[in-house]
Amino acid sequence: MSTTTITVTINGETIEETVPVRMLLVDFIRERAGLTGTHIGCTYEGVCGACTVQLDGEAVKSCLMVAAQADGHAITTVEGLAEGGTLSPLQRAFNEQHALQCGYCTPGILMNMDEFLRENPDPSDEEIRHGLVGNLCRCTGYAHIVDAVRQAAKETG
């Protein structure tokens, strides 16, 4: 099995690892970096969005990339959202609005909406709902997620 050595900065920490060329980025994040907050829901189809992380600040589905493609890039995962142990306004809003139940899809949604709010600081509910179409949630029915994103937008906007 051919391998390659990559250098990736994850949540501000730079790590160098030799990985199989075919290793998916999501598996690299979970197994090599030990960051298990990034989840696998549709098993590498890029549909459910549970594995969403940010690559150089842009939300991407980490099951649709191999780890080698992240060489030289900076990744932020859900573990990197809270700064200095303080929850971000979005994370806090998810708690206050009861925007999660099982929490399996939540990390991917947070990473997507964190970027979304940077691009859309004052979104309408419809814009939020359309911004969420790349993330499947089975528990909440989405309404409380929309409430949470709206709350975070108000607080930060």
Applying CB under 8 A, does 94 fall inside the site for another protein? Answer: yes
Applying CB under 8 A, does 110 fall inside the site for another protein? Answer: yes
Q: In this chain, which stretch among 2-10, 67-75, 95-103, 116-124 interacts with another protein, using CB under 8 A? A: 95-103
Kindly state the smallest distance separating residue 91's Cβ from another protein, in Å.
Answer: 4
Applying CB under 8 A, does 55 fall inside the site for another protein? Answer: no
- SS3 assignment for the chain: CCEEEEEEEECCEEEEEEEECCCEHHHHHHHHCCCCCCCCCCCCCCCCCCCEEEECCEEEECCCCEHHHHCCCEEECHHHCCECCECCHHHHHHHHCCCCCCCCCHHHHHHHHHHHHHHCCCCCHHHHHHHCCCCCCCCCCCHHHHHHHHHHHHHHC
**Residue selected from 38, 54, 62, 151 as contacting another protein according to rule CB under 8 A:** 38
Kindly state the smallest distance separating residue 146's Cβ from another protein, in Å.
Answer: 7
Binding pattern for the stretch 72-91 against another protein, x by CB under 8 A and - elsewhere? -----xxx-xx----x---x
**Residue 118 vs 138, nearer CB to another protein:** 138
CA angle 45, 7, 81 (to 5 degrees): 65
Kindly state the smallest distance separating residue 75's Cβ from another protein, in Å.
Answer: 13
Is residue 17 within 8 A of residue 32, CB to CB? The reply is yes
**Residue selected from 4, 20, 32, 69 as contacting another protein according to rule CB under 8 A:** 20
**Residue selected from 9, 17, 40, 74 as contacting another protein according to rule CB under 8 A:** 40
